[in-house]
């Protein structure tokens, strides 16, 4: 094993149970684990030193609902159903393995640049996504876009095959879950089989649920039950299920989420852009649900910057409820770190000894953090959520490996990735237009 990586003299925003913020602290990483978190003045072990003077040191962010994106910014003026039918589904049906590979590298590179160390990615061509995640160094939970056969997406057999090839690869950084596109493209039989497969494989489920009012109305008309009711009846819900969006949950459905222990991925920017509404997150939290944050897809967000999602997530709820006391900065940062890690069952999301070494550094010598009162943790939290962006991230460390150092990737040729991703989009778009 190489010498410990010693991140010294930073402002440590630990996100631990006590909410400690340690000014001039040190994080020691050995292998893929954090082994020590030390206050200023403590004896520091020898090792490879990364001087974090003038930097905030945080646990890596967890993007709890994510789609690799090929067509960012393309035809994104439409509401959800029209967008899916005229753009999203045609593009992913025309996808080829090479395009998926370069799209994933472009997507993951933007996320890593913005301090995201874990993605919960539902897409197609999981062999290509696995290759990209392994190469660039991100922590990736992958799932297929599974739907019934007439929709020409993925099958449970595809998902099982991907699991057997990729689950546990890259020293455990890559996991595979069972993915369900959404209930309008699923049957009760498919949902039951998805739960059976997840249980057989010992893995979890990733599903879109109650995203739009149209989805709720469609499922009600077809099955006589609301989406979450159908998901509960077919066994989909549980502590290992991440349900994305959940904008239109009834009181009874929130209770079902609580009773089953299901996890919720809140996507405020995507929900707003697509005109789907504002999720009842205050009620979810009051019911004791675990809520993390996702950006969804760059097609319906245009940015994979989770700092942007944190800010918007706070502001939209304050505006909607006319209550400036809602969703304070530490709450939002907790959703993007601890809550996301908990939802996936990961040992990340905190700067705590024994946790996985997913760590990011942000430059405090920047207008976004000016002014900053020394020693004032509340002031720092405010800047992190309401002023900072991914552009402030200087270093990203995943599993103890520095994949972004002084804003330069150590694992990929970034210029090649961007060029190839653009070529892939144009090639797939031409296939769609034929």
Task: Report pTM.
Answer: 0.97
Q: How far is CA 50 from the centre of its chain?
A: 27
User: Considering the chain, what is the average pLDDT of its residues?
Assistant: 96
Residue 315 is predicted with a pLDDT of 98
pLDDT band at 1 (very low <50, low <70, confident <90, very high): low
The yes-or-no verdict on residue 79 having pLDDT over 80 is no
pLDDT band at 60 (very low <50, low <70, confident <90, very high): very high
Residue 74 is predicted with a pLDDT of 82
* Percentage, residues of the chain above pLDDT 70: 100
Residue 434 is predicted with a pLDDT of 80
The yes-or-no verdict on residue 64 having pLDDT over 80 is yes
170-181 core/surface letters (b: 16 or more CB in 10 A; e: else): beebbbbbbbbb
Distance CA 177, CA 144 (A): 8
pLDDT band at 163 (very low <50, low <70, confident <90, very high): very high
Distance CA 6, CA 48 (A): 6
Residue 365 is predicted with a pLDDT of 97
Mean pLDDT of 61-77: 90
More confident residue, 3 or 76: 3
Specify the 3-state DSSP secondary structure of 357. coil
The yes-or-no verdict on residue 84 having pLDDT over 90 is no
Mean pLDDT of 20-42: 97
CA 389 to each of CA 303, 304, 326, 357: distance values in angstroms, whole numbers, following the listed order: 11, 11, 21, 22
Place of tokens 């459905």: 253
Other Cβ atoms within 10 Å of 16 Cβ, number:
19
Strands 21-30 and 33-38: antiparallel
Distance CA 131, CA 50 (A): 29
Residue 86 is predicted with a pLDDT of 82
Domains within the chain, CATH numbers bracketed = 5-60+350-409 (2.30.40.10), 61-344 (3.20.20.140)
Mean pLDDT of 353-379: 98
Residue 85 is predicted with a pLDDT of 84
Q: Give tens-digit pLDDT for 218-237.
A: 999 999 999 999 999 999 99
The yes-or-no verdict on residue 298 having pLDDT over 90 is no
The yes-or-no verdict on residue 306 having pLDDT over 90 is yes
């Amino acid at each position: 094993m190489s010498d410990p990586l010693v991140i010294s003299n930073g402002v440590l925003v630990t996100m631990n149970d006590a909410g400690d913020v340690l000014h001039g602290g040190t994080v020691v990483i050995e292998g893929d684990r954090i082994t020590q978190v030390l206050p200023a003045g403590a004896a520091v072990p020898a090792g490879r030193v990364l001087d974090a003077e003038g930097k905030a040191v945080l646990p890596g962010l967890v993007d709890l609902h994510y789609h690799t994106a090929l067509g960012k910014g393309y035809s994104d003026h439409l509401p959800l159903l029209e967008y899916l039918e005229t753009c999203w589904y045609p593009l992913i049906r025309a996808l080829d393995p090479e395009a998926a590979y370069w799209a994933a590298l472009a997507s993951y590179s933007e996320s890593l640049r913005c301090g995201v160390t874990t993605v919960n990615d539902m897409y197609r061509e999981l062999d290509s996504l696995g290759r990209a995640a392994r190469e660039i160094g991100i922590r990736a939970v992958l799932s297929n876009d599974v739907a019934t056969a007439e929709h020409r997406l993925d099958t449970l057999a595809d998902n099982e095959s991907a699991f057997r090839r990729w689950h546990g690869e890259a020293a455990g950084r890559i996991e595979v879950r069972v993915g369900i596109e959404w209930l309008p493209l699923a049957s009760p039989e498919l949902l039951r089989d998805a739960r059976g497969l997840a249980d057989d494989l010992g893995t979890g489920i990733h599903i879109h649920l109650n995203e739009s009012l149209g989805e709720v109305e469609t499922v009600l008309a077809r099955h006589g039950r609301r989406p979450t009711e159908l998901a509960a009846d077919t066994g989909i819900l549980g502590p290992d299920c991440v349900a994305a969006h959940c904008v239109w949950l009834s009181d009874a459905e929130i209770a079902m989420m609580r009773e089953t222990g299901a996890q919720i991925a809140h996507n405020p920017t995507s929900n707003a852009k697509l005109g789907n509404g504002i999720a009842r997150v205050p009620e979810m939290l009051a019911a004791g649900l675990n809520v993390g944050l996702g950006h969804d897809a760059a097609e319906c967000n245009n940015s994979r910057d989770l700092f942007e999602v944190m800010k918007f997530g706070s502001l939209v709820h304050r505006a909607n409820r006319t209550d400036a006391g809602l969703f304070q900065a530490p709450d939002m940062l907790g959703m993007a770190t601890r809550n996301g890690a908990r939802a996936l069952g990961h040992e990340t999301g905190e700067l705590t000894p024994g946790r996985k070494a997913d760590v990011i550094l942000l430059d405090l010598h920047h207008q976004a953090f000016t002014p900053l009162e020394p020693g004032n943790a509340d002031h720092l939290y405010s800047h992190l959520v309401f002023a900072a962006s991914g552009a402030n991230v200087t270093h990203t460390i995943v599993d103890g490996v520095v994949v972004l150092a002084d804003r330069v990737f150590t694992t990929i040729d970034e210029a090649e990735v961007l060029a190839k991703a653009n070529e892939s989009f144009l090639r797939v778009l031409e296939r769609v237009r034929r």
